Structure formats: C-alpha cells, structure tokens
C-alpha cells in the first residue's frame, strides 16, 4: 500500500566531473506493489491484476532483457492463474528462467496482527507454491510495506534458509546505511537491506516522461546516484526499486536503460542479492522488532481499527492451531489435511497487511471477516470430525474432554447433566469430579390447548424424532383427558415412529392439550484433570462429586479463590489482593475519548472531552461458587454522540451507554477474568480499559510471534507521524507487576508516567484515511468514508488480570496465558449407555521451564511440533509420548539432526528465544 509518502529526496541531476570516482552501478528492479485488497475489494483489484500481468508476461516474452519482481508474494500469481489457467506454463517458464521472481511469501502479511505460526505457514506455503511452478522461490525476505516488523522475523527467515531481508518501515534512526544486521532475540541475524529515500518506490519516477522538457534518463540516474550513494559507504550496486502500487513498468523500459549507459542494468530483486555476501560482519546491528517512526510512517492505529477483525482472527487461529491440528494428528484415524489446508489458506489470506489491519473499505472488511469465519468453521468441522469418532466409544450421557495444552492441566468445563437430585460426575479413572450447578433447564417446554383440527399440523413440528431440539423418548395419548404428551431428552435410543402417534390420534375431536416435557437437566461447571494433549471422560452419577481443594466464594462484593481476592468498589473498579499480600487498586476503569483520526492513526480532537466517571454503578451477583464465582458490574455513562471535525472537538449531543463488566474467579486460577460488554451508539471515539499498576513501570512486556518484547514508555519519532507509544500484544501484556492475559491481538499503552495501563476496547472511526490527520502529515490512502468502521452495536472484549512479582513477568505469566487462551474442549458421548468408560489417555507432553508449544500437526507421515524457549536463559525441552523416532528439522521440513529417544522421551537443548521444530514418529 502506497501511503502517499513517496518522499524520494531526489536532488537535481548532475554530471560527473573529470577525475571523479566512477559512478556506482544502479540495479533497476521493475516490480509492482500489489495490495490484494484495500480501498477496493479483492475482485475489483484482481481485474486490474489480470490486465497488468497479461501485459508484463507479453512484454517479457517479447524482450528477453525484461526482468520483473512480483512483490514477494505468491498470492498475485495464484489469483492471476485462477482467472487465466491457460497462462500457467508461460508464467512457469519465466520463473524457471529467473526473469520473473516470485515468493517467498504467500501474501504480504501484517506481522503483529497474526500469530507466529501464521507467519511460518505463510512462508511455507509461498515457497511451496513457487516450487510447484517449476522454479525456485525468491530467497529474499522481502517485506516492503508492513507496518513495522516483529522481533523474530530474522530467525524465521534463517530457519527457512533465507539469508537476506529487505525492509522499509520501522527502521530506527540509528541505521544510516543501506545494509544492517537485523538480529532476533535468540541472536540469529540476517543481512537486511533498508529501502531509503522512498521505500519500494525509490526509483518510481526515474523513467517517467514529465511535461516541460524533463531531464533525460541519464541525468535522472545521476541524481538518483547522488541521493542514494550516501547510504552505501561500502560501495556496491545501488538498489533502484522501479514500481509503485498496482502499476506496471514502462513498455520501453529496457530501451531506456540501454540508452542510459553501462552503469545501469535490469534485474530482479533476487538477482540484485545473488552476488552479495550474506555475512553480517561489520554491519551495524539492530536487535528485535522494528517499530520506529523515524524514517517512515508505521501507522499504528491499524492495531485497533475494526477490533472485531482482530477477535475473529485470534479465535480462528487458536481453533485451527491448537485444537483442530493436534486433534487430527494425535486422535484421528482418517485424513483431515485438506480441510486444514483450506483453513490455513483462509487464515493466510486474512493476515494481509491491508486485510486483518482493517484499513480497507467496508466491502473489504466484510470479505476479510468472511474468510476468518470460514477458517474458524473449517477448524470447528475438523474438531467435530475427530471428537465424533472418539465420542462413539463414550457412553451416552458421558462427556469426552480434550486438553489442547502439552502439559497436564486442571480446568473447568461446562456440560449438561441429568438434574434428578444433586448431580455428580466421576472421571474415567473413577475419581469424583467437583461440580457446581450454573443453570437448571425448564422441563415444561410447551403446554397449550389446540383444536383437534390442528393436531396434524402440530405433528409436523417433529423432524424424524427431534422435537424442540431434543429427541422424543416416549409419548402418550389420553383420549379421556384429550391430552397428547411428548417426553423428550438429549438422546433417545428407543424406537419411535410418528405414524404411531397419528394413528393414536385418528378421529380426535374437540380441543386437545399438547405438552412437551423434557427430562430434568442442568448445566454444570466441572473441575477436570486432563493429560497433556490428551483426553479423559466424565460420566454422571446420582450422588454429588468431590469438592475443590480451595473453593471459590462470592460475598459482599468480594470474590475469593484462595489465590486471588477481588473486591468491587463503589465506582465499579476492582481492588486485587494476592495470597502473598500484593495489592492492586483501580483495576477496570472505563475511559472514553474522542477520535477524529482514521483507520491508520488515532487522532484525538484538540478540544477533547474524556469521560471516565460513571453516572451509576450496580453490582449484580451471577454465581457464588464453589468452582466459579462472578459479579456483573453495571455502569452507566453519557458519552458524546459523535465527533465535531469543524470545531476539532466532540459533539454536544450525548448518548446514554451501559457498560457491563463481568468479573469472574475460578478455582485454581491465579487471575481474574473480565468480560466487558456495551452497545456502542456513538461515533468518532476511543474506549479504553484502564488498570492502575502496583508499581511504577519503566517499560512494558508484550507477548506475540514467538517472543516477549520489552518496550519503553515512548516511541522514536522523526518522520511526519506522531510517535505515539501504543503497541500490539497477542498473548499477554505486562508492566509494573500486573499482567493482562489476552484473547486476541490488542492495542495497549502505558500512561501516567508508568503508573497505569490502558487497553483499547474499541476505536470508532469513519474514514479509511483523512487527508488532514493531526497525528500524520501525509494521507495514508484515499479519503474514503467507512461508516461500518464506526463499529456500532454490541461490543464484547474478554481478558484476564494477574498480579506478578518482580519487574519482568516470569514463566508463571506465560503458563497462565496458555491456560486462559486454551480452555478444554468437551463433547457429548453417543455410544451405548452401558459401554465401558474409556480411561484417560495422554497425547504428547512437552515440558521445560519457559518452553511454549506453538503447533502440533501431522506432516509427511510424522507428527511435527514447534516450540520456542520464551525466556532469557537456555531451556531444555522434554518431549514424551508413544514415539520411537525424533528429529529436529527446519521450517521447510528438511532434517537438521536426529534426537535420541529413550522410553518415549527425547530432550532438546534450546538457546534463549530459540524456535525449534521437531518431528516424531512411532516405530
């Protein structure tokens, strides 16, 4: 996406004076930057893509001097060939010749708004698709337009065999040369080419025919060399990126370059790097993420634009990565790969830097949301497929429970059980399971009087044997009392024929009473132990089960589970006290402020009005324990209805808004769950959740993309964009002794001099880009109205709050985030009621201090798992399971080294922050 920032910095062309050193060679790389979808939806942009590539392919075949780089993403090729399948061989021939550079990515993703695993699969798919064309992918980590770069990108590239990166946005001011060593947290470094003086379009105007007698190409080349040469103190060829958004090169480009003389040549980006030493010796080093505003806009508002897209992405990724793939790999006898491939295709497409970001048109956002929903549906379908196969051996009335974590865990499930008396559950190994009733279902589903003439119509309600969502267990007809009664249950295993009912009602007259009675059932929470990536079964018993070791209670606006005590104050905020005596006050304040920005940059009005004090506060009890206790904190506010762009303020008109925060404690959890819900009736505003910190923080720590990144309280500026210190976090954010566990990528900011943490719940804006944005000098795109980006309607955000010791969050925070994000999956059994209950079974266990599993899947006849050592010290990963072979591989599945296996156990030493991929196979 070209964001109106073609600041080429070109000087007037000059001539080389006699005696001057020879001008450096200029390598011109013709390309297009292809936004798959943006201010227009995908199909409208694809129409342009087909026309562009028709011309490029024809031009390349007609003139062998032509070279072209297809933006580092295979999606453009696939999108083209879907419309022009007959052109496949022509494209493949150009790729094989090395004149058309494709890949290595499938799509140009946003690095902070998708999971680390999504980034890996993106690279894996792009490289595979390039190879399927019969050529090699471009072995350059080309990242031309991402809004900053995550810390582990150098390690990801190196693990895929890529030794060069090429970036533009986010590079800090300390980089004053064209090449630097970009270092991941584990120490892996790649030689990285910076694209100064205009980014991926730094030579876009070099060959333009401008009116008024513009300088000849040779003169412009000299001007380019003079401007760009200062970035190359070591000499070497200058990289001239000739292209822009959705554009093709001039048809006579090769002739123009030939006329410019021997100091200029055409090549691909792969060709430019082909002869360069990938060594990083002597280069300036930059460690970690690239999020500086010093040299280009990084457009940080995309983190919070259309937050629903971030929620959909987080939910879909989690379902596919941590539920569907492990279930299919460990517990399914069939093959679900095609479903999973389809799901990953949707997730990768949605990760595009103009898609998940929400900085496109309303039509684009609708399509992105649909892809995310499809990915989630595909993941859920695979879960259903596997659990159905397993549930066939679980007795009817019992429930199968899956643990998506690679360690044994104790957690809550919610299931329906018979409600005769006080319910109880026992696990598959016979141990009693603690239970708490959450809700009792009504038994009388319908009871009404109808004329006999309507009885045939009423019987049409029965579908097979299903009536009102349950199965008919038995029925009775009383002609004396003119009563028809159906008894329904969740699953019936006795014969039923609706014809028998019709026959029993034959000749009925008068008025009849029709009743539908359900078996007594209640919804309960149960505290269950489940093995690592394994399964267990719980079955109902007529007597109450066991009690939790430390019950949860709710009393007098206080929640307490022995690990954490939460008190609701009169203003609706919460105070927390840990078992060790740490106290946190002021948790959960809601603050609403104006936003006259756009999807790229938050911009409060000059005359802003912040609303943080509620008009009223009510506390309503929900559950009282002993497994789960909760209060609903209901606060009412009066927020300005909209923004006032003319007055640079918020409107005088106001809307009444009710914000409900459910505060929930569960047995055994060291964190407080919060779920904030409100009906957004306002426009042009930002709503944030504020949390006071136990200690003043000098920095924050955010988990995401295989790393925990430490950030200061300010951001580096220097370009034409306000360097606001709002940042993304995925799994958790922590500062000053308080961690917030997250369900999806979330924008946060440490404010008040390090004394408060603010998380964005909603950012409501009405334009893709505003031509005038107080926080950005240049437009970031067309000033296109996006009324759906105002995000009106009900909004809900879930998270959890956890105090911790020390300045840096320890591994206990990572464990808590794992448990919060990955709840157990429960499904009803449908085997014979008298069948034996299967015992608990473990899958693969992966343990080790600081070791986090990010994926587990079936691949090429192996079980492949990926993990990362998320700590500053070396770690040892211990893998246990029913396998006899183990090997470490790279990201493309190539062997790195075998691992010793003894009694189903393998160990692997990891550097701090090292990503490792291991394959396991049973003998």
Q: What is the pLDDT of residues 343-385, one digit of tens each?
A: 999 999 999 999 999 999 999 999 999 999 999 999 999 999 9
> How far, in Å, CA of 923 to CA of 908, rounded?
20
Confidence band, pLDDT 50/70/90 cuts, at residue 622: very high
Spatial separation of the C-alpha atoms in residues 365 and 789, rounded to whole Å: 9
The pLDDT score that the predictor gives to residue 13 is 33
Q: What number of CA atoms fall less than 13 Å from residue 913's CA on the CB side? A: 22
Please give the average per-residue pLDDT across 36-50, as a whole number. Answer: 97
- Rounded-to-integer distance, Cα 5 and Cα 769, Å: 13
- pLDDT tens-digit readout, 853-889: 999 999 999 999 999 999 999 999 999 999 999 999 9
Residues in the chain: 923
Within a 13 Å sphere around the CA of 579, how many CA atoms are in the beta-carbon half? 9
CA atoms within 13 A on the CB side of 879: 29
> Is the Cβ–Cβ distance between 758 and 746 less than 8 Å?
no
Instruction: Judge whether 706 and 163 are in contact, CB under 8 Å.
Output: no
Give, as one character, the DSSP assignment of residue 173: T
pLDDT band at 222 (very low <50, low <70, confident <90, very high): confident
Q: What is the pLDDT of residue 682?
A: 98
Q: What's the pLDDT score for residue 420?
A: 73
The CB density around residue 297, as the number of other CB atoms within 10 Å, is 21
Residue 206 pLDDT grade (very low, low, confident, very high; cuts 50, 70, 90): confident
| C-beta separation of 678 from 659 below 8 A | yes
Q: What is the pLDDT of residue 546?
A: 76
pLDDT, position 20: 52
Number of CB atoms found within 10 A of residue 664's CB: 23
Specify the higher pLDDT residue, 219 or 340: 340
Alpha-carbon distance of 463 to 469, in angstroms, equals 9
CA distance 695 to 756: 9
The reported pLDDT for the residue numbered 8 is 32
Determine how β-strand 164-167 pairs with β-strand 189-194: parallel
Is 534 within 8 Å of 845 (Cβ atoms)? no
pLDDT at residue number 10: 31
What's this model's pTM, rounded to 2 decimal places? 0.94
The answer to whether 340 and 378 have CB atoms below 8 angstroms apart is yes
pLDDT-above-70 percentage for the chain: 96
**Amino acid 726: pLDDT:** 98
CA distance linking residue 788 with residue 363, whole number of Å: 9
Q: Positive or negative CA dihedral for 598, 602, 606, 609? A: positive
- How many Cα neighbours within 13 Å face the side chain of 427? 21
> d(Cα 598, Cα 482) in Å, to the nearest integer?
67
Q: Which pairing describes strands 179-183 and 285-287: parallel, antiparallel, or unpaired?
A: parallel
Distances (CA, A) of 64 to 94, 102, 254, 492, 897: 10, 18, 9, 73, 43
Least Cα distance to 273 among 96, 133, 129, 138 occurs for 138
List CB contacts of 231: < 8 A, sequence separation 6 or more: 176, 177, 178, 194, 196, 197
| Mean pLDDT score, 837-843 | 93
Write out the DSSP string of 683-726: -SEEEEEEEE-SS--S-EEEEETTEEEEE-SS----SSB-----
Give the DSSP letter string of 128-145: HHHHHTTSPPP-SEEESS
Is the torsion defined by CA of 409, 413, 417, 419 positive or negative? positive
Closest CA to 765 of 686, 688, 689: 686
In Å, how far are 143, 145, 225, 635 from 167, measured between CA atoms? 5, 8, 20, 46
| 825-828 sheet: strands from edge to edge | 432-433, 424-427, 535-541, 399-402, 825-828
pLDDT tens per residue, range 403-425: 999 999 999 999 998 877 777 89
Backbone angle region of 534, left / alpha / beta, with phi > 0 → left and psi within -120 to 50 → alpha: beta
Q: Pairing between strand 672-680 and 793-803?
A: antiparallel
Smallest Cα–Cα separation from 561: which of 434, 437, 666, 675? 666
CB-based contact 707:151 (threshold 8 Å): yes
Instruction: Indicate if the pLDDT at residue 480 is higher than 80.
Output: yes
Given a contact cutoff of 8 angstroms between Cβ atoms, the answer to whether 473 and 519 are in contact is yes
Dist. CA 49–CA 32, nearest whole Å: 10
Is 298:721 a contact under the CB 8 Å cutoff? yes
Q: 689 and 698 in contact (C-beta within 8 Å)?
A: no
Q: Is the pLDDT of residue 153 over 70?
A: yes
**Range with the poorest average pLDDT among 170-179, 261-270, 413-422, 662-671:** 413-422
Mean pLDDT of the chain: 94
Q: Is 106 helix (H, G, I), strand (E, B) or coil?
A: coil
d(CA 345, CA 673): 33
3-class secondary structure per residue, 341-387: HHHHHHHHHHCECCCCCCCCCHHHHHHHHHHHHHHHHHHHHHHHHHH
d(C-alpha 385, C-alpha 417), whole Å? 23
Dihedral sign of CA atoms 754, 756, 761, 762 in order: negative
Predicted local distance difference test score (pLDDT) of residue 3: 45
Percent of the chain with pLDDT over 90: 87
Q: What is the pLDDT of residue 493?
A: 81
CB neighbour list of residue 464: distance below 8 Å, 6 or more residues apart: none
39-53, 90-104, 748-762, 820-834: the lowest-pLDDT one: 820-834
Q: Rounded CA gap, 7 and 141, in Å? A: 24
Q: Do residues 394 and 428 touch, judged by C-beta distance below 8 A? A: no
Q: What is the pLDDT averaged over residues 95-107?
A: 97
3-class state of residue 793 by DSSP:
strand
pLDDT mean over 644-654? 96
User: For residue 612, which of 571, 566, 656, 661 has the smallest C-alpha distance?
Assistant: 571
Could you give the CA distance from residue 21 to residue 400 in angstroms, rounded to a whole number? 76
pLDDT of residue 208: 76
Contacts of 571 (CB under 8 A, 6+ apart): 589, 613, 614, 617
Parallel, antiparallel, or unpaired: how do β-strands 68-69 and 100-101 relate? parallel
Q: Is there a contact between 606 and 662 (Cβ–Cβ < 8 Å)?
A: no
Beta bridge partners of 857: 864
């Amino acid at each position: 996406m070209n964001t109106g920032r073609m600041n080429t910095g070109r000087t007037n062309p000059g001539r080389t004076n006699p005696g001057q050193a020879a001008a450096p060679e200029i390598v011109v790389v013709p390309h297009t930057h292809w936004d798959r979808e943006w201010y227009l939806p995908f199909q409208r942009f694809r129409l342009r893509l087909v026309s562009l590539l028709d011309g490029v392919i024809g031009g390349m075949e007609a003139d062998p001097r032509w070279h072209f780089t297809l933006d580092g993403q295979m999606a453009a090729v696939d999108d083209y060939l879907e419309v022009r399948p007959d052109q496949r061989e022509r494209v493949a021939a150009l790729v094989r010749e090395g004149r058309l550079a494709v890949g290595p990515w499938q799509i140009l993703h946003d690095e902070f708004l998708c999971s680390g695993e999504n980034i890996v699969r993106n690279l894996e798919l792009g490289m595979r698709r390039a190879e399927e064309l019969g050529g090699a992918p471009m072995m350059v980590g080309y990242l031309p337009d991402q809004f900053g770069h995550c810390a582990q990108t150098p390690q990801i590239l190196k693990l895929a065999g890529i030794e060069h990166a090429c970036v533009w946005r986010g590079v800090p001011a300390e980089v004053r040369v064209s090449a630097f060593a970009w270092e991941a947290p584990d120490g892996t470094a790649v030689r990285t080419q910076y694209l100064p003086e205009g980014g991926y379009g730094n030579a876009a105007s070099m060959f333009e025919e401008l009116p008024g007698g513009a300088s000849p190409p040779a003169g412009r080349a000299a001007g380019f060399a003079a401007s760009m040469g200062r970035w190359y103190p070591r000499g070497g060829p200058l990289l001239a990126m000739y292209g822009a958004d959705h554009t093709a090169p001039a048809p006579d480009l090769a002739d123009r370059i030939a006329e410019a003389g021997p100091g200029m040549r055409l090549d691909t980006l792969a060709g430019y790097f082909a002869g360069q030493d990938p060594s990083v010796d002597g280069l300036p080093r930059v460690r970690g993420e690239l999020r500086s505003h010093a040299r280009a806009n990084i457009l940080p508002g995309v983190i919070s634009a259309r937050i629903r897209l971030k929620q959909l992405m987080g939910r879909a990724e989690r379902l596919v990565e941590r539920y569907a793939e492990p279930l299919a790999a460990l517990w399914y006898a069939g093959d679900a790969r095609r479903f999973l491939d389809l799901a990953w295709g949707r997730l990768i497409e949605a990760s595009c830097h103009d898609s998940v970001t929400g900085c496109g048109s309303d039509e684009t956002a609708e399509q992105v949301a649909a892809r995310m929903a499809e990915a989630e549906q595909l993941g859920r379908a695979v879960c259903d497929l596997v659990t159905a196969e397993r549930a066939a051996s679980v007795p009817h009335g019992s429930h199968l429970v899956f643990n998506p974590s690679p360690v044994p865990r104790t957690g809550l499930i919610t299931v329906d059980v018979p409600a005769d008396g006080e319910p109880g559950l026992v696990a598959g190994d016979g141990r009693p399971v603690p239970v708490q009733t959450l809700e009792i279902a009504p038994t009388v589903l319908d009871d009404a009087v109808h004329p006999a003439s309507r009885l045939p119509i009423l019987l049409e309600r029965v579908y097979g044997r299903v009536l009102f969502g349950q199965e008919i267990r038995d029925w009775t007809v009383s002609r004396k009392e003119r009563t028809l009664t159906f008894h329904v249950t969740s699953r019936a295993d006795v014969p039923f024929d609706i014809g028998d009912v019709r026959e029993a009602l034959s000749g009925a007259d008068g008025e009849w009473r029709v009743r539908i009675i359900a078996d007594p059932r209640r919804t309960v929470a149960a505290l269950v132990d489940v093995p690592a990536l394994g399964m267990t079964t719980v079955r109902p018993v007529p007597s109450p089960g066991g009690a939790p070791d430390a019950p949860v209670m709710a009393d007098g606006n206080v929640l307490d589970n022995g690990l954490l005590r939460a008190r609701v104050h009169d203003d609706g905020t919460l105070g927390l006290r840990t078992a060790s005596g740490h106290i946190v006050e002021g948790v959960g304040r809601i603050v609403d402020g104006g936003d006259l920005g756009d999807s790229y940059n938050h911009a409060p009005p000059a005359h802003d009005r912040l609303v943080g004090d509620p008009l009223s506060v009510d506390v309503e009890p929900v559950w009282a324990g002993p497994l789960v206790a909760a209060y609903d904190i209901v606060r009412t506010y009066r927020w300005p209805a909209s923004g006032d762009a003319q007055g640079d303020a918020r409107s005088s008109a106001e809307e009444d808004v009710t914000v409900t925060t459910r505060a929930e404690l569960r047995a055994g959890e060291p964190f407080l769950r919060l779920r904030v819900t409100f009906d957004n009736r306002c426009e042009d505003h930002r709503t944030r959740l504020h949390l006071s910190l136990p200690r003043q923080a000098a920095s924050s720590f955010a988990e995401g993309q295989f790393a925990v990144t430490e950030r200061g309280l300010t951001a580096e500026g220097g370009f034409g964009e306000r360097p606001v210190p709002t940042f993304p976090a995925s799994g958790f954010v922590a500062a000053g002794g308080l961690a917030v566990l997250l369900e999806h990528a979330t924008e946060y900011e440490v404010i008040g001099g390090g004394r408060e943490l603010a998380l964005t719940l909603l950012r409501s804006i009405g334009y893709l880009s505003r031509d005038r944005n107080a926080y950005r000098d240049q437009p970031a795109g067309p000033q296109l109205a996006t009324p759906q980006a105002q995000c009106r309607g009900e909004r809900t955000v879930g998270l959890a709050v956890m105090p911790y010791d020390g300045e840096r969050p320890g591994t206990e925070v990572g464990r808590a985030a794992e448990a919060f994000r990955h709840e157990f999956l429960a499904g009803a059994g449908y085997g014979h009621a008298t069948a034996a209950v299967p015992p608990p079974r473990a899958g693969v266990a992966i343990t080790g201090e600081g070791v986090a599993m990010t994926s587990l899947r079936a691949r090429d006849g192996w079980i492949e798992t990926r993990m990362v050592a998320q700590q500053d010290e070396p770690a040892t990963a211990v893998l246990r399971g029913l396998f006899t072979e183990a090997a470490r591989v790279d990201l493309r599945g190539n062997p790195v080294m075998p691992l010793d296996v003894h009694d189903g156990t393998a160990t692997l030493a990891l550097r701090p922050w090292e990503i490792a991929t291991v394959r396991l196979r049973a003998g």
